[in-house]
A = this chain, B = another copy of it.
Amino acid sequence: WFIPSSRGFASIKKPASLFDPLDTFSERHIGPDDTEASKMLEAIGYKTMDDFIDATVPPKIRIASNTISNESIKPFSESQLLAKAKALGDQNKMFKNFIGMGYHCAVIPPVILRNVFENPAWYTQYTPYQPEISQGRLESLVNFQTMVISLTSMDIANASLLDEATAAAEGMVMAFVSANSKKRTFIVDSGVLPQTLAVLRTRAKGFGIRIVVGDVQSLLRLESSSDVCGVLVQYPDVDGAIRDFGEVAEKTHAVGGLLVAATDLLALVRLKPPGEWGADIVVGNTARFGVPTGYGGPHAAFFAVKDKLKRKMPGRLIGRSRDAEGNSAYRLSLQTREQHIRREKATSNICTSQALLANMAAMYAVYHGPDGLKRIADKVHGFTQVFVDAVTRLGYKLVNDSFFDTVTIDVTPILASAELLHTKSIEAGINLRRVDDKRVGITFDESITSLDLVSLINVFASAASATPVSLVDLSEPNKPTIPEHMKRTTPFLPHPVFNKHHSETEMMRYINHLASKDLSLAHAMIPLGSCTMKLNSTSSMIPLSWPEYGNIHPFAPYDQVKGYDNIIKELEEYLCRITGFHAASLQPNSGAAGEYTGLCVIRAYHESRGEGHRDVCLIPFSAHGTNPASAAMAGLRVVAVKVHPDGNLDLEDLRDKAEKYKDNLAAFMITYPSTFGVFEAGVQEACKIIHDNGGQVYLDGANLNAQIGLTNPATCGGDVCHMNLHKTFAIPHGGGGPGVGPICVAEHLAPFLPSHPVMPIKGKQAIDAVSAAPFGSASINIISWAYIKMLGGKGLADASKIALLNANYMAARLSGHYILRYKNENGRVAHELLIDLAEFDKAAGLKVNDFAKRLQDFGFHPPTCSWPIQTCMLIEPTESETLEELDRFCDAMIQIRKEAENIITGKQPKENNLLKNAPHTMSVMTLPEDKWKRPYTREEAAYPLPWLREKKFWPTVSRLDDAYGDLNLICDCPSVEELASA
C-alpha cells in the first residue's frame, strides 16, 4: 500500500560551510531534488540545466545571472527569517486604536484562527470553479452571502469584493451603467470615508463620471436632477452620526438614480438596515467580524443589491443548484470569468477577491450567531455611551447626538486645541482620530476592554486636569442614543447554520467538516495554468498570526509602524530588482487592480506631457479577460491584436494597429510568457513598435514565475507591470483570495504611483488612491517578503528554472497522448502548457469539461479549462511539485486518454461512460445493483489507477447541473422553513 518512490533516495545537500544554517528554504520549497531534475533533463534531451534554459528562454531577453543572485538578494534560513520577522514586529507598536474610519481591531475566535486562518486545507484552496470538490468553501461563502443579505436586508449579496472603497466604486459604476452610462453626476455625501472618496475619484475618471461632494440633501436639491445617476452615503457616517437617509433614497429614486449605502455590519445589528430605508446597493467591510486589521488588509468587502440588479453584480456569486443525481449542491453562479466573455464591455475587472477573509467573517457569524452579535454590538455601543457620559461630564462637547460606536468630540469648551489630547493619548498608548484642530474622533470596537475604556476616559480627564476615574466609578448607560425610528426591529440570521455551532467543539467540527469536502494543495497538485499554485510555506505564514502585525491600524502614526515600513520598503526594492523597474506600489490588492492602476499611471503620464487624449489600448486576443476590462475602466478604447496560429503575437498586425492609432495610442498590454505558455522571441520588437508610436507598454506579470533571474519585464521592453503576489510570490490563494497585485514602473512613471488621502505616501503628481488602505492588503506582503528573503537570489532563479523544467517534462510526457498546442522552435514550452482536446469533441462528443471532471476521480484538481482557448486545458505545475507528483498527474491524464479511446472506438457508449458520468461520488458508488446501470464497474469508476486505493479523494456531489443553476439563482442558506419542508 505504499507508493514506491520515483524519487529514489533523495539527497539533501551538505551546506557549503559548517557555519551556514541548515534550514535553508529552497530545498524545501522546490519539489524536485537534483536527482529528479537530472532525470527530467535527460527525459527531454538536455545534458545541463543551462542548455535547457538556453533552448527555452530567448537569448535576446536574457539578463545577467548576477542580477538575481545571493549577492543581490541574500538568502535567510527559515529560522533566521522568523527571527527577523519577530524583531521587525517588535518595531510595530501595539497601541489601542480608537481611530475607526472603517478599521476596527477584531477579536478572532481562536477556533477560527487555528482551524481556518492557520489551516492549509483552507488557505491553499483555489477559487471554487470545480464545485464537486469545493462544496465546503462554497457552503461557507453562501453563509457569507446570507450573513450580508440578512444584516443589510437586501435581496442578494456576492461572495466578497476587495475592500469597502473599491466596493463603493463598483456601486458607483453600477449606478452609472444602470442609467445607461448617460447620466454622469454621482453625489457623494461628505460623511463618506475619505479613502472611499479618493478611490471613487480615481475610478470616476475612467468612466467620465462627475463626482460632487457635499451634504447629500442639499446636493440633491441643487444638482441638475436629470444628470444624477446615483448617490453614496455612509451609515453611520464617518463622524459617527446615524442619519436617516430614507428621504434621500426617495429623492434619488425620483431622479432615476440608485442609492448606494456604505455601512457597517455590526452597527446593523442594532440599526434599521439600509434595505429597509431604500438603499439599492449596500457595501462595506466585514473585517471586524474576526479578521485582523493587519495595517489595512486583507479584509472581505461585501456588496449587496436589490433583486433587480442581481445579474449585473460584480464579483462572484455562489448559488444553490443541483447535481446530476438531483441532489442539492452549491456552485459559482456568476463568476468573474464573465470578463473573458464580456472583455472590454465588462464594467468591473474583479477576479481575485477575498474568499479566505469572507470565510473567516462568515465563520465568526456562525460562531456567535444572532445573540452573540447582539451581545457584541451592545457592548461596543454601551462603551461608547459610557465614554460620552464621562467626557461630557468633564465638559467636552459631543458633536453627534446619535451614534452607534463612533463619536466626534469638540474639545473647545475645555481646551484651546486637540493637540494636548493627542499628546496625552499617545503617552497612554492610545491613538485617537485626528478630525481637525478642535475635534477628535473616537470609535469603539470589540477588542476594547473595560480597562481600556477607563484609560481612554482618563486621557480626557487628564487633559481637562480632572481627577482620574476608575472602573467602579462608571455606570451602565440609561439614555438611548440610537433614535427610536432608526432602531432595527427585524430579526436576522434565523438560519440554522447561525444557530447551532456555538460550542467550540461544534465549531471545530463544522469547520473541519467543510474543509474535508474540498481539495486543496494539502492533497495534491493544483496544476492551474496562469495561477501558479505553489507552496505557501508555513514559515512565511506564521508571522501573520502575531498581534504585532495583526493589530496595526492603517492610519497609525508612522513611528508606530517601523516594522511594517521596513518590510514594505524591502519588498518594493526586491520587486524592482526582480522586474528591472524603478519604483513600486503595493497598493493594488489584486492582479486586476494592478492592471487598472498601471493603466491609470500610464494615462497620468500621458496627461503630464499634454497627451491626455491618448486613449487607445492594444491588447492581443489571447489576453486574460481582466486586461480589456481594466483598460475599459481606465477609459481606454480597446483594440484587439491578432495572434498567429503558432501562438505568437502577429507583429505585423501590431505594427499596423500601432501606426493606425499612433496619435491616440496610449498603451499596449501583453502577458509574458504569453497566456498560451510560450516565450515569444519578438517581445522586444513589439515593445519597440509601441514606443515608436508614442505608447507605453503594460506587462501583465501573471506569468512572472517563468522569468525570475532569467529575464524581466524591463528587459522585455515594458514600462510597467503588475505582479500577482498570490501567484509568483507564494501568497496562498485562499479559495479565491486574498491577493496582492503591486505594480512596478520605469523611472518616468514613478511620480504617478498612487497616493492616499489619509496617509500621503507619494508625491504631487501621484494619482489618487486605488484601494482603501495606503499599502493595500498590507499584512500579507509579509508572505512575499519572507518568500523572497528565504529563497534568496539563487533560490528565486532556481525556482523559475524548475518551474520551466517541470512544465517541459510534462509536455514531453503528455505529448504522445494529447495535442500540445504551442511550443517554441526548440520544442520548448514555458512554465505551462496548453493541450488541445478539440479532437475528442469531434470524434466522440467529449468536451474539455468531461476530462476535467474525470480528473477529479483521480484526486486531482483539473487544470485551467477552456481558457485562453475554448477547447484547451492550460497546465502549470510550478516548481513545488516533485517528479513523482508530475508523474502521477501524467499517469492520470494518460489513463483518461485510454478511457476516451474506448469511447471513440465505441467500446463504451457516447453518453453513459466514465468521462460523461464523472465525477463519481461515494453515494453513486453505493447505488443498489439494479440502479447501477453503467457499462463499467464501480472499481473502474473509483480506482482507475492502483495508487488511488491509498490516495483517493472523493468529490461530495455529482456533476453540477449548470443549466438548472443558471435559471435558479438561490444565493442564501436554506432557512428553517425550507429545511422543514425539504
Contacts and interface: CB of A to CB of B under 8 A. Distances in A.
Interface of A: 1-2, 4-5, 7-12, 14-15, 17-19, 21-23, 27-31, 33, 78-79, 82, 107, 109-111, 113-115, 118-121, 327-328, 368-372, 375-376, 378-379, 382-383, 386, 446, 449-450, 453, 471, 474, 476-477, 494, 496-497, 499-500, 502-509, 512-513, 516, 521-524, 535, 537-539, 541-542, 880-882, 884-885, 922-923, 925-929, 932, 937-939, 941-943, 949, 951-952, 954, 974, 976, 979-980
30 contacts: A2-B496, A4-B496, A4-B979, A10-B499, A12-B368, A14-B378, A18-B379, A18-B476, A19-B450, A19-B474, A22-B376, A23-B107, A23-B109, A28-B503, A28-B507, A78-B110, A110-B539, A111-B538, A114-B542, A503-B535, A503-B882, A504-B538, A505-B521, A505-B881, A509-B522, A513-B523, A923-B943, A925-B925, A926-B939, A927-B939
Contacts of A327: 1
A327 B946 CA distance: 13
Given A10-B369, A30-B503, A496-B2, A18 B383 contact: yes
Nearest to A82: B110
A79 B926 CA distance: 47
A327 B476 CA distance: 68
B522 A508 contact: yes
A9 B114 contact: no
Nearest to A115: B120
Contact of A537 (B7, B11, B110): B110
A413 B922 CA distance: 76
A372 B12 contact: yes
Contact of A938 (B476, B503, B880, B926): B926
Nearest to A9: B499
A955 to B, nearest CB: 13
A436 to B, nearest CB: 31
A584 to B, nearest CB: 28
Nearest to A114: B538
Q: Which 9 A-B pairs have the closest CB atoms?
A: A110-B538, A926-B938, A19-B450, A12-B371, A5-B500, A28-B504, A512-B522, A18-B382, A12-B372
A326 to B, nearest CB: 12
A11 B114 contact: no
Nearest to A980: B4
Contact of A928 (B33, B471, B506, B939): B939
A207 B371 CA distance: 61
B7 A499 contact: yes
A881 B30 CA distance: 43
A319 to B, nearest CB: 15
Contacts of A378: 14, 18
Contacts of A19: 450, 453, 471, 474
A287 to B, nearest CB: 18
Nearest to A446: B22
Contact of A506 (B23, B31, B109): B31
Nearest to A957: B1
A120 B116 CA distance: 12
A535 B507 CA distance: 11
Contact of A523 (B383, B509, B541): B509
A754 B509 CA distance: 41
A118 B929 CA distance: 44
Contacts of A376: 22
Given A7-B500, A23-B107, 20 more contacts: A5-B499, A7-B499, A8-B499, A10-B500, A14-B378, A18-B379, A22-B446, A27-B502, A28-B502, A28-B507, A79-B107, A111-B538, A114-B120, A118-B118, A503-B880, A503-B882, A508-B521, A922-B922, A922-B952, A923-B943
A76 to B, nearest CB: 12
A775 B217 CA distance: 71
Given A114-B120, A923-B949, A29 B504 contact: yes
A506 B28 CA distance: 9
A954 B885 CA distance: 25
A538 B19 CA distance: 38
Given A371-B12, A503-B29, A505-B881, A938 B942 contact: no
Contact of A937 (B111, B450, B504, B928): B928
Given A379-B18, A523-B509, A929-B929, A504 B2 contact: no
B524 A509 contact: yes
Contacts of A535: 503-505
B2 A979 contact: yes
Nearest to A6: B500
A860 to B, nearest CB: 13
B922 A942 contact: yes
Contacts of A471: 19
Given A19-B471, A949-B923, A328 B928 contact: no
B512 A120 contact: yes
Given A31-B503, A523-B509, A925-B925, A538 B113 contact: yes
Contacts of A974: 2
A110 B542 contact: yes
A508 B107 CA distance: 29
Contacts of A5: 496, 499-500
Contacts of A9: 369-370, 494, 499
A885 B928 CA distance: 29
A18 B502 contact: no
A10, A19, A497, A951 — most chain B CB neighbours (10 Å): A19
A628 B499 CA distance: 48
A388 to B, nearest CB: 14
Nearest to A385: B18
Contacts of A522: 508-509, 512
Nearest to A920: B926
A744 B12 CA distance: 50
Contacts of A884: 500
A115 to B, nearest CB: 7
A504, A881, A882, A939 — most chain B CB neighbours (10 Å): A504
A84 B120 CA distance: 29
A31 B499 CA distance: 13
Nearest to A78: B110
A937 B925 CA distance: 11
A938 B925 contact: yes
Contacts of A949: 923
Nearest to A369: B12
A542 B8 CA distance: 38
Contacts of A513: 523, 951
A502 B980 CA distance: 51
Given A2-B979, A474-B19, A882 B506 contact: yes
Contacts of A494: 9
Contacts of A379: 15, 18, 22
A78 B199 CA distance: 38
Contacts of A368: 12
A295 to B, nearest CB: 21
Contacts of A943: 923, 926
A221 to B, nearest CB: 42
A420 B242 CA distance: 69
A27 B496 CA distance: 19
A523 to B, nearest CB: 7
Contact of A925 (B114, B328, B497, B926): B926
Nearest to A477: B18
Contacts of A22: 372, 375-376, 379, 446
A512 B502 contact: no
A370, A477, A949 — most chain B CB neighbours (10 Å): A949
Nearest to A474: B19
Contact of A375 (B15, B450, B504, B541): B15
A50 to B, nearest CB: 23
A9 B495 CA distance: 9
A497 B9 CA distance: 10
A120 to B, nearest CB: 6
A110 B540 CA distance: 10
